[in-house]
């Protein structure tokens, strides 16, 4: 028997970051939007916990117990007294790796849902979300998808209404950025960061499906830190804007950059312009919002 779960990437249409807390985390007002780029996570019985991975960037994915997908299986097994999980987890990557699009978090949510189905543990939605929050700040959203406001360190979710479809272009950088390093640079650049608050205008733009209003309100407080550590990202942002994007920003902690387009046809044009610019390694187009972790098959 095996179970396959599809999980989406995300873009942060607003990432408001407060100062560092005593526990080292930062309070956030994080408006997540799931986008139609997916990883697929398949689990099946095995003699011991093993991981395999295929797809773009798979050589950068750890295949030991530090992988969030492995940690998700271990956490669910511990909760239900199953001992060490005896499963093979296979991750088919399509979400850019180390790109600020929560690919690792998505894989954790996928493994959690898949193992729950495989083992018949019958975990409630609340229990799954609780395990997700223990695994990482972005993991709960990977489970629920759609759109949501994340507060606390991003793990406390409030679902948001989205009144239309938004089209994005993602430019994958040639290189990576460490999320902890980006936050350290944020602390250096913003020692007196104000309390993070979600933008009412942005939330209303999502609710009404107004792409122009959304374009005017997207923000990422980590962008100056990401640009400080990876200055060439500015060339990519400028190239996407020149190609017709109505908004351009660093995705999460980067180094992937995200471009909002007026519609699907415009997104294709932005993608072509970015691909021709020579400022990025790869370009992807995706619509949003997208569903969260979804069981595709079990046999």
The span from the first CA to the last CA of the chain, in angstroms, equals 5
Per DSSP, 2 falls in state -
Query: Residue 288 is inside which H or E element, if any?
Result: strand 282-288
Q: What is the pLDDT of residues 251-275, one digit of tens each?
A: 988 899 999 999 999 999 999 999 9
Q: Is 138 designated active site?
A: yes
Query: Which residue carries 């079990």 as its tokens?
Result: 298
Closest CA to 266 of 169, 141, 160, 152: 169
Q: What is the pLDDT of residues 24-49, one digit of tens each?
A: 889 999 999 999 999 999 999 999 99
Q: Is 10 designated active site?
A: yes
Radius of gyration of the chain (CA): 19
Using alpha carbons only, what angle is made at residue 23 by residues 193 and 72, rounded to the nearest 5 degrees? 115
> Which residues pair with residue 26 across a beta bridge?
20
Query: Residue 151 is inside which H or E element, if any?
Result: strand 147-151
Contacts of 134 (CB under 8 A, 6+ apart): 75
Distance CA 71, CA 112 (A): 9
Let me know: does 9 contact 100? Beta carbons within 8 Å: no
Distance CA 140, CA 134 (A): 9
Distance CA 150, CA 17 (A): 11
Predicted pLDDT at 102: 87
Query: Given CA atoms 118, 123, 126, 132 in this order, what sign does their dihedral have?
Result: negative
Predicted pLDDT at 299: 57
Give, in order, the Cα–Cα distances in Å from 291 to each of 117, 151, 165. Answer: 18, 20, 13
Using alpha carbons only, what angle is made at residue 202 by residues 197 and 208, rounded to the nearest 5 degrees? 140
Residues in the chain where the model's pLDDT stays below 50: none
> Which residues pair with residue 42 across a beta bridge?
4, 90
Distance CA 200, CA 188 (A): 28
The active-site residue, picked from 27, 39, 138, 221, is 138
Determine the length of the chain: 299
The active-site residue, picked from 10, 27, 93, 221, is 10
Closest CA to 73 of 98, 55, 91: 91
Query: Which residue carries 């913003």 as its tokens?
Result: 190
> Alpha helix (H) ranges present in the chain?
68-79, 103-119, 125-135, 139-144, 179-189, 200-208, 211-217, 223-229, 233-242, 264-277
Predicted pLDDT at 57: 86
């Amino acid at each position: 028997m095996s179970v396959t779960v599809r999980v989406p990437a995300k873009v942060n249409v607003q990432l408001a970051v407060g100062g560092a807390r005593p526990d080292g985390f930062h309070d956030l007002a994080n408006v997540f939007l799931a986008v139609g780029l997916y990883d697929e996570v398949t689990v099946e019985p095995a003699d011991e916990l093993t991981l395999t991975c295929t797809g773009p960037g798979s050589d950068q994915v750890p295949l030991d117990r530090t992988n969030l997908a492995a940690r998700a299986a271990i956490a669910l097994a511990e909760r239900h007294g199953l001992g060490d999980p005896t499963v093979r987890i296979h991750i088919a990557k399509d979400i850019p790796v180390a790109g600020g699009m929560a690919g690792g978090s998505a894989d954790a949510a996928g493994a959690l849902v898949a193992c729950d189905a495989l083992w018949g543990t019958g975990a409630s939605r609340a229990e799954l979300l609780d395990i997700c929050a223990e695994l990482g700040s972005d993991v709960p959203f990977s489970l629920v998808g759609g759109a949501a406001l994340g507060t606390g360190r991003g793990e406390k979710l409030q679902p948001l209404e989205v009144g239309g479809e938004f089209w994005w272009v993602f430019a994958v950088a040639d290189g990576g950025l460490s999320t902890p390093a980006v936050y350290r640079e944020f602390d250096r650049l913003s020692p007196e960061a104000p309390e993070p608050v979600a933008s009412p205008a942005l939330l209303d733009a999502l609710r009404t499906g107004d792409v122009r209003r959304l374009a005017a309100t997207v923000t990422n407080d980590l962008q100056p830190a990401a640009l400080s550590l990876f200055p060439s990202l500015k060339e990519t942002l400028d190239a996407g804007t020149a190609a017709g994007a109505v908004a351009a920003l660093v995705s999460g902690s980067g180094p992937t950059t995200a471009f909002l387009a007026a519609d699907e046809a415009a997104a294709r044009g932005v993608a072509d312009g970015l691909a021709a610019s020579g400022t990025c390694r790869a370009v992807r187009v995706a619509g949003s919002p997208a569903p969260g972790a979804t069981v595709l098959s079990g046999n």
